[in-house]
Amino acid sequence: MKPIENIYNDLYSKLTENEIYIFDYIMKHSQTVRKMSITELATILAVSKSTISRFTQKIGFSGYAEFKFYLNNEADNQRHDSEIDPMGQLAADTQDTFKMFSNMQVEPIVESIFDADNVFLYGTGWAQKNALNDFRRSILLNNKFSIDISAPLELKIASASIKPGDVLIVASFSGNVALIERELKIFKSKGAILIAVSEMHTSLLASLADYTIYFKTTRFDYKDEAFASMLPIHQATNLLAIAYFEYVRKQERLQKENEERDL
């Protein structure tokens, strides 16, 4: 069963702004929406029932009833997962995150950070911002300064003065960055390097990024609310920081060897 987020990512380029608005609301409030009638959902979104019906058909369902069944079935699967072994699943997620990172060509990523005059950090939520704040403090130990961008408006302002070779690191769980898509494209058009930190699936953010660092996290239902551990995203940014440490040490060794050779 494909997660609702994956359906969104697959169809994103074909959706209108209004359909993106509907989809965003459903993903953020899926636990509530799956209990709503089509009339209740249409009222909350200030659209007609026929708009909701056409939306569900466009994303591959026969109508709202089938779509609602899908949401309930997805929630049941998540609940089943949570009853299996949450701690065991978290251990598996961290192992998968480490394996994905270990299989990456990391050197071009850390080299771009090392060479950049400016490194910008943007998290789409509080957990993402916290993970990037830890990363910022870590690379500061190697005298690498980075700039925290806390809001879309700040990202817009920063995009006006971006230079080739600057780096922007964006952390997002879903990879749904439609709100800042224009700014990200401006960064890219000016020669900046975009590094994404995101969950392991296709997304708008991953499609825009020069490099993507994936992490694996599993959602569980707890008291009718979705819960996901923040550990894997912190693990991903910590691994990137450690890789940066190793790259800096390598450069220092090479510099020392060259200086000794010139003596």
Secondary-structure breakdown of the chain: helix, strand, coil percentages, each rounded to the nearest 5: 60, 15, 25
More confident residue, 256 or 93: 93
pLDDT bin (cut points 50, 70, 90) of residue 79 is low
Q: Which domains does the chain have, with CATH numbers?
A: 4-84 (1.10.10.10), 86-259 (3.40.50.10490)
User: What are 55-70's pLDDT values in tens digits?
Assistant: 999 988 888 888 887 8
- Please give the structure tokens belonging to residue 123: 């998290």
CA distance linking residue 256 with residue 29, whole number of Å = 56
Residue 81 in this model has a pLDDT that exceeds 60:
no
Give the pTM: 0.69
pLDDT bin (cut points 50, 70, 90) of residue 201 is confident
Burial class (CB in 10 A: 0-12, 13-18, 19+), 187: buried
Highest mean pLDDT among 51-60, 88-97, 129-138, 203-212 belongs to 129-138
Percent of the chain with pLDDT over 90: 50
More confident residue, 144 or 179: 144
